Amino acid sequence: MKSITKFEQNVNLKLVTGTGEILQDFSSTGKERPWKIHKQENLRLVEIYKLAKHERLISDSRLFDLEHCGDTLLFVKNAEGKKKLKQANFCRVRLCPMCQWRRSLKMFGQVQAITDKILEKDQNIRFIFGTFTVKNCAAEDLETCINILNNKFLYLVSRNRTFAPAKKLKQNLLGYLKAVEVTYNSQDKTYHPHFHVIFAVQNTFFNSGKYYMSKKEWIELWQKALNVDYKPQIDIKAIKSGVAGTAKAVAEVAKYPIKTAPILKLPDDEAVEVLKTLTLALRKKRFVGYGGIFKTVKQELKLQDVETDKDLINTDIEQQERFNAVVAVLFKYNFRFGCYIC
């Protein structure tokens, strides 16, 4: 992992250290970014990995990177006191709460940019947000269940797969963005894999009774795709036109693929077992998939792959804008006080 102490200023900025200032970093909407919370979660994950050392779920070098993830943050400030992250030592371990948060921010920025560009091309395009589920599964079945979810989704969207029940959707489908999520139910010790998706469709999908699908039809469609004898739960809704409606759907798709916070609160033995299950079941799995117009526009905008991109510093479009920095400030996580201090 690159040492942040080797930061080289490419502009003549004063580097401020040792002032005792406690880090407060706010987004453009005025919401404080939860750096210390994610660092505390990160340290709990390290503790669980160490308890599971005999399982060899992570190498010693990667565990070291995880333990020191986000230890030190270098910000630059402008004349108004607004901060922008300049450099940090992120570990990029898949289940790291700190890195998952940073990827989620990056994902949100990218998807928002893609949907904005799609509407710029054609304001008549409509979006549908959906959540597709299967029954909860046991730990030993999680990997298989995720594979089934991904495979059966292709029955809905792929024109190369003949699946008559999806004809209405396919005739109007312009593209999609799919994101897999896995949650854990501590009451019955089961796992809930599901995916969120944004469909881009022609407006004829809504304007014509010939193509429009009720929720009942969506449920029946997904049941037939899964080939199961129960009615799977799904949530499907048209995204309202305008920034607010689209942003809400984008936020759902850009959520963390694994909610680690509840797992970190489990008793040690259970937390170790859950961590083992997730690490093995999700190894080499992709969580995000683009198709059609979403994939085309992503390429046009030259956006990096969120799952493999090493840059977790520049996470959103906002941070790409010009920033007139006047000073650099170094914050380090203080283990005694549980916060970042200059």
Calpha distance 84→303 (Å, rounded): 21
**What's the rounded Cα separation, in Å, for the pair 224 and 218?**
10
The answer to whether residues 207 and 329 belong to one domain is no
* Predicted confidence (pLDDT) per residue in 76-113, tens digit: 998 888 899 999 999 999 999 999 999 998 888 888 88
Q: What is the mean pLDDT of residues 234-254?
A: 73
The reply to whether 172 and 30 lie within a common domain is: no
Statement to judge: residues 65 and 201 lie in one domain: no
Residue by residue, DSSP assigns 28-92 as TTSPBP-HHHHHHHHHHHHHHHHHTGGG--S-HHHHHHHHTTTSEEEEEEETT--EEEEEE----
Q: Is the pTM of this model over 0.95?
A: no
pLDDT score for 1: 52
246, 108 Cβ separation under 8 angstroms = no
DSSP state string for 224-288: HHHT-SS---EEEEEPPSSHHHHHHHHHHHTS-SB-HHHHHTS-HHHHHHHHHHHHHHSTT---E
Across residues 5-16, what is the average pLDDT?
A: 61
Same-domain check for residues 71 and 112: no
Same-domain pairing of 104 and 236: yes
pLDDT at 108: 87
pLDDT value at residue 11: 45
Residues 296 and 270 both lie in one domain? yes
Considering the domain architecture, whether residues 83 and 105 belong to the same structural domain is answered as no
pLDDT over 70 percentage in the chain = 91
**AA letter at 326:** V
- Same domain for 52 and 199, yes or no, is no
Q: Based on the domain organization, do 76 and 2 belong to the same domain?
A: yes
Residue with more model confidence, 201 or 241: 201
191 and 243 assigned to the same domain: yes
What's the rounded mean pLDDT across residues 13-22? Answer: 90
Residue 169 sits in the same domain as residue 237:
yes
- Half-sphere exposure of 124 toward its Cβ, with a 13 Å CA cutoff? 7
pLDDT digits (tens, 9 = 90+) for 56-72: 899 999 999 999 999 99
- What's the structural domain count of the chain? 2
Instruction: Give the pLDDT band of residue 248 (cuts 50, 70, 90).
Output: low
The stretch 156-183 carries a mean pLDDT of 86
Residues 283 and 342 in one domain: no
Owning domain of residue 140: 100-309
